[in-house]
Amino acid sequence: MSVKRKHTTVTIEQKSEILQHLDRGKKASRIAQEYNTGIATVSDIKKARPAIEKLISLSDTANALKRKSMKPAKDEQLDQAVFLWFSQQREKGIPVSGLKILEKAASFHERLHTENRKRLPSYLCRSASSFRSILPGMGLPTPCHTHSSLISRDHPQRCLTTDSKTTDFSRTITDRGRRVQRPKTVPSRLRNKVVEALLPELEEPNHHDLLLELQDYRLNQK
């Protein structure tokens, strides 16, 4: 009786290595055995070569190559605009705070979607009322008008709340004895690229809820 192989998901870096092995003429069956994956997976990686090479060329950190999925951003234009701006500021040696990135993302979003009033991505909407206070008169669309309570060190009993009619939830975790809901949607590449820049700026009590979300996201990526 054959033993069922344990499911293994290869990272972007491993996919690049598999492509290199294929270029050297190595057999797919041998590669599949080395990476503990199926021959069909090796074949799929070969077919997805253009997308893999494009993603690697756009990745500027080692952590990006450890990703196991190649899901595109939900808003490609917004993603590219913010990342280009962030790269320009870094090249100039200008320090960029996490809140500044969020502010610029919201600004780009309003410029890109002036006609159809496309909804701002949920990860920006959930950044709490303190973020909206630095953007007076911006008029963010639903569900950003829904007030989000803050989880802070001074007020641990206050929980993050979101409009259940516009946001789906997959699980509920316990934080300091309180039930806190987390969204099931996976953050886009924008959040993946700036997560390291955001964390140092979120040590203040009034940003503690977003800090918890980012830490939870980092744990899920390991």
Domain extent listing, the chain: 12-66, 76-221
Look at residue 89 in the predicted model and tell me its pLDDT: 84
Look at residue 130 in the predicted model and tell me its pLDDT: 35
- Of 55, 58, 73, the residue nearest 19 (C-alpha): 55
Query: Packing angle between helix 98-112 and helix 189-198, nearest 10 degrees?
Result: 150
What is the distance, to the nearest Å, from the Cα of residue 6 to the centroid of all Cα atoms in its chain?
Answer: 27
Look at residue 156 in the predicted model and tell me its pLDDT: 34
Look at residue 210 in the predicted model and tell me its pLDDT: 53
- Of 176, 167, 164, the residue nearest 209 (C-alpha): 176
Contact by Cβ (8 Å): 202, 208: yes
Contact by Cβ (8 Å): 210, 128: yes
**How far is the C-alpha of 219 from the C-alpha of 197, rounded, in Å?**
17
Look at residue 81 in the predicted model and tell me its pLDDT: 78
Look at residue 182 in the predicted model and tell me its pLDDT: 45
Given the structure tokens 């977003």, which residue do they identify? 210
Residues 16-22: contacts with CB under 8 Å, at least 24 apart = 16/52, 16/53, 16/56, 16/65, 18/42, 18/45, 19/45, 19/46, 19/49, 19/52, 19/53, 22/46
- Of 149, 146, 72, 144, the residue nearest 110 (C-alpha): 144
For the chain of 222 residues, list the mean pLDDT of each consecutive stretch of 10. 68 86 91 88 88 71 55 67 80 80 78 60 45 36 32 33 35 43 45 49 49 54 50
Look at residue 121 in the predicted model and tell me its pLDDT: 55
